[in-house]
Amino acid sequence: MPELRIPPPDQKARPGEIASVVRRIIAENGRDYRGSYVLAVLCLLVVSGTTALTAWIMSPVVNRIFVERRADLVAAICGVIVVAFILRGLATYGQAVTLARIGNNLVARYQRRVFEQLMKLGVDFFNDTRSGRLAAQINENVNGIRDLLSMTLTSLARDAVTLIGLIGVMVYQDPLLSLSALLIGPPLIYTVTHLQRRLRRITRESVQINSRLIGAMQEATQGIAIVKAFTMEDELTRRIGVLVTDAEQRANKIARVSERLSPISDMLAGFAVAGVIAYSGYRAAVLGEPPGEVFSFITALLLAYDPARRLARVQVGMERALVNARMIYELLDLEPKQRDVPGAVELRVSTGEVRFNDLTFGYTPEAPVLRNLSFTAAAGKMTAIVGASGAGKSTLVALLQRFYDLDGGSIEIDGQDISKVTKQSLRGSIAYVSQQPYLFEGTIRDNIRYGRLSATDRDIEVAAVQAAADDFIRQQPEGYDTPVGENGVTLSGGQRQRVSIARAIVRRAPVLLLDEATSALDNEAEARVQQALTHVMEGRTTIVIAHRLSTVVNADHIVVLEEGRLVEEGTHASLMADPHSAYARFHRVQGAKGLGLVDDAKPIQTEAPDEPATVGSSS
């Protein structure tokens, strides 16, 4: 199954990988930001030029004003300095705002791309990836794209140009001193190379731990009712505490490693500045040379320290951004498994007959769930699927919607192989009610309208009436416009199920799938919904998975499964006529104990366990 590949923490970036990732980002986005980049670069060049001018102008300031006492030059030199600082301030503001807008737009763009990619991936990906951890990881990783571009641009257009300009001033004023001051370069390069190797590994570990932490917190808050019911507060607090401690330790380690460059560069710069001042002081005091050039040189040297330090740190920062950017591209480069085949056509449903031909399927090769299964759900009729736990009932529903691809056989709707039609047209022809109703953020009206976005308010209310939901909806504080809360937390289980049924009704699809659609309803509500569904099912091909056999007594066709195989089929009367049939046995058990068949089938999940489970038993 596809999964988000996480390379080992100690995996090193290949030579030129940063450049490769930056080239890909620029190739995908550069044209759209061309004008903004030009403006940002011009602003950065102005910052660099005015910084170099500040150092150079110290020579005429000292020599002409203080040594030669040229009062006539004071106004001109001061005017140049004021203009330079005004330009520097405006350019600094311009480049900061421009780069921020580019960065924010990049983050938004990649967030959209990531969500679009997630919507293309199959259900199997989400079964193997915890949603909380995935969301947290994406939120952290997407900033790596922005940081890579911002650091690349600022380091080249601002810091590198500024440093070159200041070095030019230093060489112009005193070539010998310039050579001695640049001796700190080799030790800095060695330090950066050593630190970036360590930082790459620690950063990947930190991303993974933080995603686990945020994911665990999200799951705990979503399942707070279970946490309280089973008094799990202390245990979950302990587990979260361990993750918090790990995250804190990794963050501290990142700080220790990345900040080691500062004291090393400060010490090297201190020796360089002290040596320059000592030598230039000797020349001024003993040899009587004018101090202007020395002051200009020292000013350039001091101003060059910040861009030199930033350039030394940019490689360290890029290693952190590269880890995040690379993990985003690992997700974006995943290939969806359930793609439309080349030349896929639109599904055209006339009668709605569904035919299962010799199906074979397993979630893993070692554990097949369906074995050579064949039967037909007649057009416009109700077909019920019955069976014990692990028989493969819910798997059939998932396969009909192409959540997974078959290992063998085919499924046809009106003679059209569903593997050769577009998924959009296939699923648009099916209305689905799961045994675990899910409501999205928004109002009750919004959630029903998800069934068909073009539905009018009148359509929504009619569907709610048919699903026996209108009465309780109108009793809500804001009626149909009442927010449902996270996953419908403000509604009861039965109310959520009835909203889910209304969503399926408003879809007006020719094929209706009911995966134990009334399991969460009380007897009175179930009777009302069953009566409503009787009218809704008229003229539609309906496939029902039922644990309560009372809901399938009137089915036109009943299919009984055991261990992924069809063992018997017929009507309620014909199956009950044989007292030794599996169906009759199920019926006697329910009649004696008053219980529905327990089914621990594999659900169609949106969130998988922490470790991939073996999914051999599915109903």
At 436 the pLDDT is 77
Written as six digits, the tokens of 71 are: 């009062």
Instruction: Among 122-131, 272-281, 360-369, name the one with the lowest average pLDDT.
Output: 272-281
Higher pLDDT, 82 or 281: 82
Written as six digits, the tokens of 83 are: 């203009």
Angle between helices 185-222 and 261-286 (to 10 degrees): 150
At 383 the pLDDT is 93
Whether 104 has a pLDDT exceeding 90, the answer reads no
Please compute the mean of the pLDDT values over residues 123-142 and round it to a whole number: 73
Q: Which residue has the tokens 């008094």?
A: 231
Task: Report the alpha-carbon distance of residue 505 to residue 503 in Å, rounded.
Answer: 5
* Residue 358, Ramachandran bin (φ over 0: left; ψ between -120 and 50: alpha; else beta): left
Please compute the mean of the pLDDT values over residues 606-618 and round it to a whole number: 35
Residue type, 71: A
In this structure, are residues 130 and 216 in contact, taking their beta carbons and an 8 Å threshold?
no
Please compute the mean of the pLDDT values over residues 190-219 and round it to a whole number: 71
Whether 445 has a pLDDT exceeding 90, the answer reads yes
At 446 the pLDDT is 92
At 583 the pLDDT is 87
Instruction: Quote the percentage of the chain above a pLDDT of 90.
Output: 14
Whose CA is closest to 363, among 609, 566, 124?
A: 124
Predicted confidence band at 163 (pLDDT cuts at 50, 70, 90)? confident
At 105 the pLDDT is 87
Task: Report the alpha-carbon distance of residue 19 to residue 13 in Å, rounded.
Answer: 11
Q: If you write DSSP's letter for every residue of 44-63 in order, what string do you get? A: HHHHHHHHHHHHHTHHHIII
Please compute the mean of the pLDDT values over residues 495-513 and round it to a whole number: 89
Task: Report the alpha-carbon distance of residue 410 to residue 359 in Å, rounded.
Answer: 6
Predicted confidence band at 473 (pLDDT cuts at 50, 70, 90)? very high
Measured CA to CA in angstroms, residue 65 lies from 289, 408, 451 at distances of 16, 92, 81
Whether 197 has a pLDDT exceeding 80, the answer reads no
Whether 543 has a pLDDT exceeding 70, the answer reads yes
Interacting residues of 344 by C-beta distance below 8 A, sequence separation 6+:
420, 421, 422
Written as six digits, the tokens of 250 are: 């990794």
Q: To the nearest 10°, report the CA torsion of 73, 79, 84, 90.
A: 180
At 608 the pLDDT is 36
- Paired strand residues for 560: 386, 568
At 358 the pLDDT is 92
Measured CA to CA in angstroms, residue 508 lies from 241, 343, 468, 588 at distances of 50, 27, 17, 37
Q: What digits encode the pLDDT tens for the residues 213-249? A: 877 777 777 677 677 776 778 888 888 888 888 888 8
Measured CA to CA in angstroms, residue 607 lies from 131, 403, 594 at distances of 5, 15, 33
Please compute the mean of the pLDDT values over residues 464-478 and round it to a whole number: 89
Please compute the mean of the pLDDT values over residues 178-207 and round it to a whole number: 67
Task: Report the alpha-carbon distance of residue 602 to residue 616 in Å, rounded.
Answer: 9
Interacting residues of 105 by C-beta distance below 8 A, sequence separation 6+:
33
Predicted confidence band at 601 (pLDDT cuts at 50, 70, 90)? very low
- Paired strand residues for 367: 364
At 475 the pLDDT is 92
Whether 1 has a pLDDT exceeding 50, the answer reads no
Whether 198 has a pLDDT exceeding 80, the answer reads no
- Paired strand residues for 364: 367
- Paired strand residues for 558: 384, 570
Whether 79 has a pLDDT exceeding 50, the answer reads yes
Instruction: State the DSSP H helix or E strand holding residue 70, giving kind and residue range, or none if neither.
Output: none
Domains and CATH numbers, the chain: 17-332 (1.20.1560.10), 361-429+510-518+538-606 (3.40.50.300), 435-508 (3.40.50.300)
Whether 13 has a pLDDT exceeding 50, the answer reads no
Q: Which residue has the tokens 């049924």?
A: 501
Whose CA is closest to 309, among 266, 351, 270?
A: 266
Measured CA to CA in angstroms, residue 560 lies from 375, 444, 602 at distances of 11, 36, 18
Predicted confidence band at 524 (pLDDT cuts at 50, 70, 90)? confident
Instruction: State the DSSP H helix or E strand holding residue 513, giving kind and residue range, or none if neither.
Output: strand 511-515
Predicted confidence band at 448 (pLDDT cuts at 50, 70, 90)? very high
Instruction: Among 159-163, 194-198, 354-358, name the one with the lowest average pLDDT.
Output: 194-198
Please compute the mean of the pLDDT values over residues 140-166 and round it to a whole number: 76
Whose CA is closest to 514, among 492, 546, 558?
A: 546
Measured CA to CA in angstroms, residue 511 lies from 350, 414, 514 at distances of 11, 11, 10
Higher pLDDT, 494 or 409: 409
Please compute the mean of the pLDDT values over residues 336-365 and round it to a whole number: 87
In this structure, are residues 458 and 435 in contact, taking their beta carbons and an 8 Å threshold?
no
Whose CA is closest to 311, among 440, 157, 424?
A: 157
Q: What digits encode the pLDDT tens for the residues 568-580? A: 999 998 989 888 8
Angle 290-295-300 from CA coordinates, rounded to 5°: 140
Written as six digits, the tokens of 297 are: 């040189």
At 376 the pLDDT is 92
Please compute the mean of the pLDDT values over residues 22-26 and round it to a whole number: 81
Q: If you write DSSP's letter for every residue of 449-464 in order, what string do you get? A: HTT-TT--HHHHHHHH
Q: In 3-state terms, what secondary structure has residue 471?
A: helix
Measured CA to CA in angstroms, residue 311 lies from 304, 316, 532 at distances of 11, 9, 71
Mean pLDDT of the chain: 78
Interacting residues of 379 by C-beta distance below 8 A, sequence separation 6+:
351, 352, 353, 414, 541
At 66 the pLDDT is 74
Please compute the mean of the pLDDT values over residues 111-134 and round it to a whole number: 79
Task: Report the alpha-carbon distance of residue 399 to residue 403 in Å, rounded.
Answer: 6
Instruction: Among 76-90, 187-201, 270-284, 331-345, name the one with the lowest average pLDDT.
Output: 187-201
